[in-house]
Chains A and B, each alone.
Chain A
Amino acid sequence: MSRAPSNILDRPLGGRGRNSSTETAVSQSAFAYLYSELVQYHQSRVASISELERRLESSGYGIGLKVLELLSYRSRESKRETRLMNILQFVSANVWKSLFGKPADSLERSIDHADEFMIVDYEPLTSTYVSVPSDLGQLSVDSFLSGIVAGVLDGAGFSARVTAHSVTLEEGEAGYGSSNSSLPPRKDKAVFLVKFSPEVLKRDTGLER
């Protein structure tokens, strides 16, 4: 016989525990297996690469919204970000740090387009354990992460289109060594291209003054 479940809203949001790694972490393999099942599930239901990417993005979107709320609540900042550069800093530093244990490797602004920014990650968790067969050519499984980023940005009021791209590493880049040295070195880095909607840009330049 079950007793009345305690109200979920009354439970602490601090995670399962605060300090020990056993309570706020699982192994990367566990995540990798789960993620591969998610990808396989979608793969069986779509007919094209871009549809698969779209589905992964929409899967990540919901997570992004929740992650934004969690992090905002935990950081106890009383003001929410209203400036473009600040929200991008939030995503590339705080969100990345909380989800992956380290801030994103770089945040760049595109030279050609004022509304495009790039977040670079040399070893995104989602594609570390995935190999894309040649018949799926340009598929980027990191679309899931771009969905998360899009969710965070949208939730914060900065609607943007985020896409994931695999860019081949140049000579000498990412020489600091990967955290998981038992895997063969990667040949490409993930670049998340963030393209903000025009009204966001307009609003931000308006706030400049």
Chain B
Amino acid sequence: MSKSTAAANGHSLWQKMPKANAELFALTYGTLVTELVRDYESTEDINEQLEKMGYSIGVRCVDEFLAKADQAGMVIPPCRAFAETAEVLAKTGFRMFLGVSAEVQMISDSSFSLLIYENPLSLFVELPSDPKWKDIKYSNLYCGILRGSLEQVNLRVECTMVKDVLQGDDVNEIRVDLKEVLVDGAGEEYDEE
């Protein structure tokens, strides 16, 4: 899938999606993070919880993505290389759900970085300057979403937030590393039956 097709698909899927207010979205996410901060002690736990929630979202949203694309008459062919996956994620997937596309920076054949310039989750947000919050990954939800959705298409990945605008960097960067291409199957126990 060429880069421009991915972007064009993203744009037209975005047009078709019913919209919700981005500020309500950002404020709701803020509320969620605040509740986590209240309930958990360490920033690792908070990050982990966010990732888990993202995972659960990711598992579900990939179905919607493929279904809506199919309904719109688009063909999203199976990706022949991890780079194609990255493009589809950044240009079509992100665009369709969030209205913003991300940029892809390939690092190697099995890892890439997604650069997000405008982050809908962190609208209105500022992190306190207390050193305790240096390690919090506010947008860790994305890492979970990427992991969940890619797992549904048989790619086991590990995602981490490398750079965060809220921590002072100029862009949000998520590093995605492919660990394993999974094989469909119910496992060896079922072979006997």
Contact = CB atoms under 8 A, between A and B. Distances in A.
Interface of A: 2-5, 8, 15-16, 21-31, 33-35, 37-38, 40-42, 45, 59-60, 62-63, 66-67, 70, 98-101, 125, 179-180
A59 B31 CA distance: 6
A23 to B, nearest CB: 7
Nearest to A62: B31
Contacts, number: 122
Chain A interface secondary structure, helix, strand, loop or mixed? helix
Q: How large is the interface on B (under 10, 10 to 19, 20 to 34, 35 or more residues)?
A: 35 or more
Interface of B: 14, 17-25, 27-29, 31-32, 34-36, 39, 53, 56-57, 60-61, 64, 96-100, 118, 120, 123-124, 126, 141, 166-170
Given A27-B18, A101-B19, A67 B99 contact: no
Chain B interface secondary structure, helix, strand, loop or mixed? helix
Contacts of B57: 33-34, 37
A14 B89 CA distance: 29
A27 B99 contact: yes
B148 to A, nearest CB: 11
Contact of A35 (B28, B36, B118): B28
Contacts of A23: 22, 99, 118
Most buried by A among B18, B25, B60: B18
B28 A22 contact: no
